[in-house]
A = this chain, B = another copy of it.
Amino acid sequence: MAALHPFRRIADDLREEILDGRLAPGARLPSENELAVRYATTRTTVRKAIALLRGEGYIASAQGSGSYVRSRPALLMISTGSQWRSRRDGGISPLSAEFTEQGHEVEQRLLSVGEEPAPRDVAELLGLAAGDAVIVRRRRVLIGGSPMQLGSAYYPTAIFGGTAAAESRRIKGGVLGMFEDALAGRIARFVERLSIRMPTPVEASELQLPSGVPIARTVRVAYDARGRSVEVLVSIVPGDAYTFEYVIDVPPPAAD
C-alpha cells in the first residue's frame, strides 16, 4: 500500500486522517520527530509532507508548538438585490447586517478616505479617464476578531465630491444609502465579477493568511436607475472562509 514516495505516503495518511475526522479541526499533529520515527525516515522528508498539507490548506504550523488541523468559520455571502434593499432600509451597513444575522461579530475599520488617481480598470468602470481623481474609501472588516475582508470603494467626485463620502468617518447606512437618501439617487443594479488567485505577500499579511490559502477578489459595480456607475467596490477576502450565493432570474421565453 505504500505510495511511490515516502513524503506522499505520509501526506496521504495524514490527509485521510483529517478528512475522516480522526484528526479533528484544531487537533495537533504528531511532532515531526515522532513522524520521522514512525515512518522510518528523516525529519526532512516528514517536513516535506507537512509542507504539502500546509499548501493544500489543511494544516497550519506554529513554531515551538506544533502543527494543527485548520478550521475556518463558514461565512455565507448572499448577494441578492432584495436583501440589499431590505437591509439598507434597516439603516445599517448591508454587509454588517449580513453577517450579524448569521451570528458573527463584525467590526469594520475605516483605514483611509481620500482622493486618488483612479486605477485604469476602475476608471473604465466609472466612465472616467485613467488617472482622474476619485474618492477612495478603504476599510478592513474583522469577523470574530479575524481580518476577513479588505475593501476599497471608489466614487466619482462629480457625484460625491463635497458629500459625506469624502469625509473620513463612518456613514450610517453606507455611502450608497446616503446616495439614495441625501442625493435622491436610486441603486438599480450591481454587476459583480469574482476571480480567484493566491494572495500577494502584502495581502497575505494583511489578512493574516497562512500559506496555501487562496483569495477571492470581487469587483462590484453599482449602477443607478439611469445606468450610471456610481461605485466600484474592490474586495479581497480569504477564499476558504466564504461561500458566495447569487440568484439568477431567468426571463420567460420570447413570445412566438
Contact = CB atoms under 8 A, between A and B. Distances in A.
A130 interface: no
B253 A198 contact: no
A248 to B, nearest CB: 4
Interface in A109-142: none
Contact of A196 (B196, B201, B211, B247): B196
A198 B52 CA distance: 11
A239 B213 CA distance: 12
A198 to B, nearest CB: 4
A248 B80 CA distance: 6
A160 interface: no
A245 B193 contact: yes
Contacts of A85: 250-251, 253-254
A106 B193 CA distance: 22
Nearest to A53: B198
B56 A198 contact: yes
Given A79-B246, A82-B251, A188-B250, A196 B180 contact: no
A57 interface: yes
Nearest to A81: B250
A243 interface: yes
Contacts of A201: 12
A14 interface: no
B51 A189 contact: no
A244 B195 contact: yes
B190 A247 contact: yes
A6 interface: no
Contacts of A89: 253-254
A247 B198 contact: no
A25 interface: no
Interface of A: 12, 51, 55-57, 79-82, 84-85, 89, 180, 186-198, 201, 211-212, 214, 216, 239-240, 242-254
10 contacts: A55-B211, A85-B250, A85-B253, A187-B250, A188-B250, A190-B248, A192-B248, A194-B244, A195-B242, A196-B242
